[in-house]
A and B are shown apart, each in its own frame.
Chain A
Amino acid sequence: EIVMTQSPATLSVSPGERATLSCRASQSVSSNLAWYQQKPGQAPRLLIYGASTRATGIPDRFSGSGSGTDFTLTISSLQSEDFAVYYCQQYNNWPPLTFGGGTKVEIK
C-alpha cells in the first residue's frame, strides 16, 4: 500500500497570501495524483488531477506540481472561500486508492 504524507497538518495564512501544501508518496505514483478541497459538512471537491491539471471550474489561483514522490499544491492568493482542508490522493498503484491525512488551511 502506498502511504501518502501531507505537510504541514495545519497552515495559518492571511487572506491574499500564498499557500504551499506538500504531499509525499512512499513510492513513485508517477503523475497519478489528485488534490481535493473539503469544507465542513461538504463532500470533497476535486481541484487537481494528473498532478497539475485543474478540474473544470477550478480557479487558476490553484496550481499543482510534482511527479514521482513529491507534490505541491499552491494557492497563489488565498480568498476567504479557500480556507478548508485539502487532501492529496494517489491512483497509480491500487487497490487501495490512498489519501493523505490532510492539511487544514486556516486564517492567520
Chain B
Amino acid sequence: QLQLQESGPGLVKPSETLSLTCTVSGGSISSSSYYWGWIRQPPGKGLEWIGSIYYSGSTYYNPSLKSRVTISVDTSKNQFSLKLSSVTAADTAVYYCARWTPVTAILPWGQGTLVTVSS
C-alpha cells in the first residue's frame, strides 16, 4: 500500500526558505503516469494546491506561488521535495504531500505537517 510521509522543520523564520521532504513507501516514485505534489491548508481554512512534479521530471506550479516554489525529486531515495522561498506569516499552514493522476484525482495523501512562520 502506497504511503507518503512529510518531514521538515515545523518553524521557519520570515524571509527564509521553507523546505519539506516527502518520502514515498510501498511504491516507486518513478512509476509512469503519476504526478507527485504539495497542497497546503492554513489553519481553519481551505485547501490550496502548490504544485506537482511528473514522474518524467516536468514541474507544474500554482501561478500564485510560482516565483517562490521549487519542487524536485530524488529517485534514489524515493523522495520529492518542496522549497518555498521568502516566507511570511501567510505561509503558515499544514503542508500535505500527495500523488495524483488525471484519472483518479489525489490519492493518497500524506498525514500533513504543520509549518509555522514566525520569528
A55:B112 contact, CB within 8 angstroms:
no
Q: Which positions 76-119 of chain B face chain A at CB distance < 8 Å?
A: 96, 100, 102-112
With the chains together, A91 CA to B49 CA distance in Å?
11
Q: Which residue of A lies closest to B106 (CB)?
A: A46
Which of B8-16, B17-25, B26-34, B59-67 is the interface stretch?
A: B59-67
Secondary structure at chain A's binding surface: helix, strand, loop or mixed? Answer: loop
A87: which B residues are within 8 A, CB to CB? Answer: 46-47
| Contact of A49 (CB < 8 Å), options: B51, B62, B63, B103 | B103
Q: How far is the CA of A98 from the CA of B105 in the complex (A)?
A: 12
B48 at the interface (CB under 8 A from A): yes
Closest residue of B by beta carbon distance from A46 = B107
Tell me the complex Cα distance, A49–B47, Å.
17
Interface pair A95/B60, CB less than 8 Å apart: yes
- A102 to B47: give the CA distance in the assembly, Å: 9
List the A side residues contacting B112 at CB < 8 Å. Answer: 43
Residues of chain A contacted by B104 (CB below 8 angstroms): 46, 49-50, 55
Interface string of A39-50 (1 = CB under 8 A from B): 000111110011
A50 to B101, CA, bound (A): 11
Contacts of B111 in A (CB 8 A): 42-43
Q: CA separation between A1 and B102, bound complex, in Å?
A: 17
Any B CB within 8 A of the CB of A83: no
Interface residues of A (CB under 8 A from B): 1, 32, 34, 36, 42-46, 49-50, 55, 87, 89, 91, 94-102
A-B CB proximity, top 7 nearest: A34-B105, A43-B109, A97-B49, A49-B105, A96-B62, A99-B47, A46-B107
Given contact pairs A32-B102, A46-B107, A46-B108, enumerate 16 new A-B contacts (beta carbons under 8 Å). Answer: A1-B63, A42-B111, A43-B96, A44-B96, A94-B60, A95-B52, A96-B61, A96-B62, A96-B63, A96-B64, A97-B100, A97-B106, A99-B47, A99-B48, A100-B46, A101-B46
Q: List 25 A-B contacts (CB under 8 A).
A: A1-B63, A32-B102, A34-B105, A34-B106, A43-B109, A43-B111, A44-B47, A44-B96, A45-B109, A46-B106, A49-B105, A87-B46, A89-B47, A89-B106, A95-B61, A95-B63, A96-B62, A97-B52, A97-B100, A98-B49, A99-B46, A99-B47, A100-B46, A101-B46, A102-B46
